[in-house]
Amino acid sequence: MIKYLLSFSLFFIGISVSVKAQDRWDPSRANAWYTEQGWLMGCNYTPSNAVNQLEMWQADTFDSALIDHELGLAEKIGMNSIRVFLHDLLFEQDPEGFQQRMDIFLSIARKHNVKVLFVFFDSCWNPFPHTGKQPEPTPFVHNSQWVQSPGASALNDTVSYGRLKKYVQAVVKRFGKDERVLGWDIWNEPDNMGNDFYRKNDLPDKIEKVNTLLPLVFAWAREEKPLQPLTSGIWAGNWSSEDSLNATQKIQVSNSDVISFHNYDPAPEFEKRIKWLDRYNRPVLCTEYMSRGNGNTFQSSLPLAKQYHVAAMNWGFVSGKTQTIYPWDSWTVKYTKEPEVWFHDIFRKDGTPYSEDEIKLIRQINDLQRPANAFSITWSEPVLINNMPKFKDAGKVKDAVDFYREQGTYGSQYARMVVLADGNWLAGYTISRNNGYSKTPRGGLELQISSSTDKGKHWKNISIISDPGHDLDNTQMIQLKDGSMLLACRTVRWQESYVLPVYKSNDKGKTWKRLSIIDSTSGKPGALGNPDKGIYEPHLYLLDDGRVAVMYANEKHVTATPSYSQIISEKISDDNGKTWNKELWIAYEPGHPLSRPGMPVWTKMKNGKFIVVYEVCGPEKCGIRYKISDDGKRWPVGLGETVPGQNGGPYILSLTNGNLLVTSNAGNLSVSDDYGKSWSLLARPWNKSLWGALYQTGNKQVSALNSPFRPEGGNNVQIKQGTIKP
């Protein structure tokens, strides 16, 4: 009877007890999202004037000026993300005011280049929360007034589920497409029974009730179709196999788009848990760590997190009313003064750091240790090159491959540019005006060329290149010595036909005619999948001897012996792109068949040598590598050297002063003044980057292209101008 009544109650709040993770992101989408973020490093943030999450957000105690000051400290040490707790009672008390304060908070965070991971629910500490004035902290006690959400009474009453659902869905509906939001942490440590002080008064069957509600909360959030991932961090026990997970952890992992965890142990245990979670082939976020008294320090954990490209958010930031400078045992051991070794937190309330050595390490690991008079670039406001209107989606297309049977994307993206000999600028990019290709001659993705005659201030569309029944993408252009232009791209029918054509223009991009094919592969529908056997991302370069060379990503050798999931290939043309010589292998690693070097971009350096940058996905998780060649034709073996702080979709520019600039989907901008031996981070041109590109357009001017996401969906193409100093 009890089971029947529970099912009946849940039916009337709009969801059954048995919730499947049917809308969970697949690993490819999760990893693509993570590639766009770059390495995430930040903290769990509560303002120093707040004793808990209620005092942080309530109207009487919400302090935007203090938040602005404290997030400014985060920006100065290179943090780019923070984890922040919400509470269901805040929404019940003042739904509109609460969300307005969330919006203010997000605006402050964006000002300081910090993205926010919001936490909806929390099983830790006091099970009896209340709104209104919050109690003062118990002196010298760790996090003495933190409260659970939902409280015990709400968790114990299924009637309250309707209120909780309204809270979750209203917040996700309002902020689920907001690029200031990093993601949604559904429930903090859901199976945490708390310390002895609170456990004796908590629900005896708390975990069972949490396990009933937890999958529902995931489903409620997903119904609002957020563009950010959902997660819930596992925090205790043995995670070495699926069988070793407890019931709560299985719910967390099976519903999370990205995997998150907490760990407060020394380096060997921290590293072991990262390796355990690697089996999911999803991004891994450590959303709590750093307890100095336990041997988990910035020095022990941060280098490992960066090495494995695991997001790292320590607990605590500015010491304040949460009193987390005191250890966990302060609940049972009497403390009478500030501990010599702080347990958590980084700064004192006056902004001075607890440890200068820690700040130096954090800044170094975020590549911020640069002298004040060092090379720098300041960036202008963006100029729109192209913004495709939203097309009317046709829904499922009967004769399309599975890739295009669902709702299509639209907009413009993957922009590349060339500065012509006459001073005009041309930009080429992909445009999407339908659901992708089908058997009809309408075609799918196309390439559009735009021209600027005033150094990027205004743009005019001058031509479109189509390949009916195929998708065009990955455009890149060069101008030959005779003034004509070559454009390389890829044209595909997924898992059926992959071609890298070259188009030629004799009228500065107004008209184009196919000239040649760099490489191609084809088969019956589906024959080139499982494993994929495509070719992508050609990048042309004019060698010193006048010959044209191209590099591209190549999956064709996945079925060869030895097998390579993807390599970077190079071909050279002796006749200005009409024909192409034999394939050269540029980046691959013997014995590493799953490594996937791709998206190559190469250029000549001031010292006369050539350099190529590329991502290496697979086990390397899309980190950026580079190689150097004396002549652009003979390259060292292996996967190359690392460009720290970069991830996915790289681009390199060699400046006339000899400096190298590298950007990527991480959004960061790296500079090297010693031809790649060392790298430092500069001010980033974009808060978020997708397939960006860099060009020197003046003695002291750099232009940066980007394809940022649009709130209405899809992407557009923008350009920023950067001024080089000194």
Strand ranges of the sheet holding 497-505, from the earlier edge strand across to the other edge? 471-479, 485-493, 497-505, 513-522
**All residues at 6 or more sequence positions from 204 whose CB lies less than 8 Å from its CB, including other chains:** none
User: What is the rounded CA–CA span in Å between residue 577 and residue 417?
Assistant: 19
Grouping H, G, I as helix, E, B as strand and the rest as coil, residue 207 is: helix
Q: What pLDDT, on a 0 to 100 scale, did the predictor assign at position 197?
A: 79
Lowest mean pLDDT among 162-171, 447-456, 481-490, 679-688: 679-688
* In-domain check, residue 371: no
Lowest mean pLDDT among 94-108, 427-441, 473-487, 587-601: 427-441
Q: What pLDDT, on a 0 to 100 scale, did the predictor assign at position 151?
A: 97
Q: What is the gyration radius of the CA atoms in the chain, in angstroms?
A: 27
- Select the more confidently predicted residue: 115 or 402: 115
Q: What pLDDT, on a 0 to 100 scale, did the predictor assign at position 678?
A: 86
Digit-coded pLDDT (tens) for 560-579: 888 889 999 999 999 999 99
User: What is the rounded CA–CA span in Å between residue 10 and residue 286?
Assistant: 33
Is 141 in the same domain as 239?
Answer: yes
Out of 299, 331, 365, pick the residue that ends a domain: 365
Q: What pLDDT, on a 0 to 100 scale, did the predictor assign at position 198?
A: 81
* In-domain check, residue 235: yes
Is 438 in the same domain as 537?
Answer: yes
Does residue 409 carry a pLDDT above 90? no
Q: What pLDDT, on a 0 to 100 scale, did the predictor assign at position 635?
A: 95
Task: Choose among 616, 696, 595, 707: nearest CA to 653.
Answer: 696
Grouping H, G, I as helix, E, B as strand and the rest as coil, residue 77 is: coil
Lowest mean pLDDT among 91-105, 258-272, 405-419, 605-619: 405-419
- Interval 384-401 mean pLDDT: 63
Out of 365, 394, 412, pick the residue that ends a domain: 365
Q: Where are the beta strands (DSSP E) in 266-421?
A: 284-288, 311-315, 376-379, 383-386, 411-419
Is 631 in the same domain as 597?
Answer: yes
Q: What pLDDT, on a 0 to 100 scale, did the predictor assign at position 245?
A: 98
* In-domain check, residue 320: yes
Q: The tokens of 664 are what?
A: 């990527």
Q: What pLDDT, on a 0 to 100 scale, did the predictor assign at position 403?
A: 40
Share of residues in the chain with pLDDT > 70 (%): 92
Grouping H, G, I as helix, E, B as strand and the rest as coil, residue 199 is: helix
pLDDT band at 434 (very low <50, low <70, confident <90, very high): low
Q: What pLDDT, on a 0 to 100 scale, did the predictor assign at position 701?
A: 97
Digit-coded pLDDT (tens) for 276-326: 999 999 999 999 999 999 999 999 999 999 888 999 999 999 999 999 999
Digit-coded pLDDT (tens) for 659-706: 999 999 988 899 999 999 888 888 788 877 899 999 999 999 999 999
Is 405 in the same domain as 340?
Answer: no
Number of domains present in the structure of the chain: 2
Is 357 in the same domain as 471?
Answer: no
pLDDT band at 443 (very low <50, low <70, confident <90, very high): low
User: What is the rounded CA–CA span in Å between residue 392 and residue 435?
Assistant: 9
* In-domain check, residue 573: yes
Q: What pLDDT, on a 0 to 100 scale, did the predictor assign at position 468?
A: 82
Does residue 401 carry a pLDDT above 50? no
pLDDT band at 375 (very low <50, low <70, confident <90, very high): confident
The model carries a pTM of 0.62
Out of 365, 386, 403, pick the residue that ends a domain: 365
- Interval 270-276 mean pLDDT: 96
- Interval 615-632 mean pLDDT: 91
Looking up residue 543, the CATH number of its domain turns out to be 2.120.10.10
Q: In this structure, are residues 667 and 648 in contact, taking their beta carbons and an 8 Å threshold?
A: no
Looking up residue 264, the CATH number of its domain turns out to be 3.20.20.80
Q: Tell me, what amino acid is at 485? A: M
Q: What pLDDT, on a 0 to 100 scale, did the predictor assign at position 326?
A: 98
pLDDT band at 246 (very low <50, low <70, confident <90, very high): very high
Grouping H, G, I as helix, E, B as strand and the rest as coil, residue 113 is: coil
* In-domain check, residue 113: yes
Domain residues for the domain of 110 are: 2-365
Could you report how far apart the first and last alpha carbons of the chain are, in Å?
Answer: 77
* In-domain check, residue 415: yes
Is 330 in the same domain as 384?
Answer: no
DSSP, residue by residue, 631-698: SSS---SBS-EEEEEEESS-EEEE-TTS-EEEE-TT--EEEESSTTS--EEE--S-SS-SS-EEEEEE
Does residue 10 carry a pLDDT above 80? no
Is 565 in the same domain as 666?
Answer: yes
Q: Tell me, what amino acid is at 88? A: D
Is 265 in the same domain as 406?
Answer: no
Is 259 in the same domain as 383?
Answer: no
- Interval 599-618 mean pLDDT: 96
pLDDT band at 5 (very low <50, low <70, confident <90, very high): very low
* In-domain check, residue 497: yes
pLDDT band at 590 (very low <50, low <70, confident <90, very high): confident
User: What is the rounded CA–CA span in Å between residue 628 and residue 676?
Assistant: 9
What's the count of helices (H) and strands (E) in the chain, helices before strands? 14, 33
Digit-coded pLDDT (tens) for 145-197: 999 999 999 999 999 999 999 999 999 999 999 999 999 999 999 999 987 77
Is 124 in the same domain as 267?
Answer: yes
Is 278 in the same domain as 351?
Answer: yes
Q: What pLDDT, on a 0 to 100 scale, did the predictor assign at position 679?
A: 85
Tokens 């009946």 label which residue?
8
Q: Beta strands 701-706 and 311-315: pairing type?
A: unpaired
Q: What pLDDT, on a 0 to 100 scale, did the predictor assign at position 432?
A: 83
How high does pLDDT run on average in the chain? 90
User: What is the rounded CA–CA span in Å between residue 509 and residue 588?
Assistant: 35
Grouping H, G, I as helix, E, B as strand and the rest as coil, residue 173 is: helix
Digit-coded pLDDT (tens) for 106-145: 999 999 999 999 999 999 999 999 999 999 999 999 999 9
Does residue 399 carry a pLDDT above 70? no
Q: What pLDDT, on a 0 to 100 scale, did the predictor assign at position 370?
A: 56
Strand ranges of the sheet holding 623-629, from the earlier edge strand across to the other edge? 596-604, 610-617, 623-629, 641-647
Q: What pLDDT, on a 0 to 100 scale, did the predictor assign at position 372?
A: 54
Q: What pLDDT, on a 0 to 100 scale, did the predictor assign at position 376?
A: 87
Does residue 524 carry a pLDDT above 50? yes
Is 353 in the same domain as 392?
Answer: no
* In-domain check, residue 64: yes
Does residue 439 carry a pLDDT above 70? no
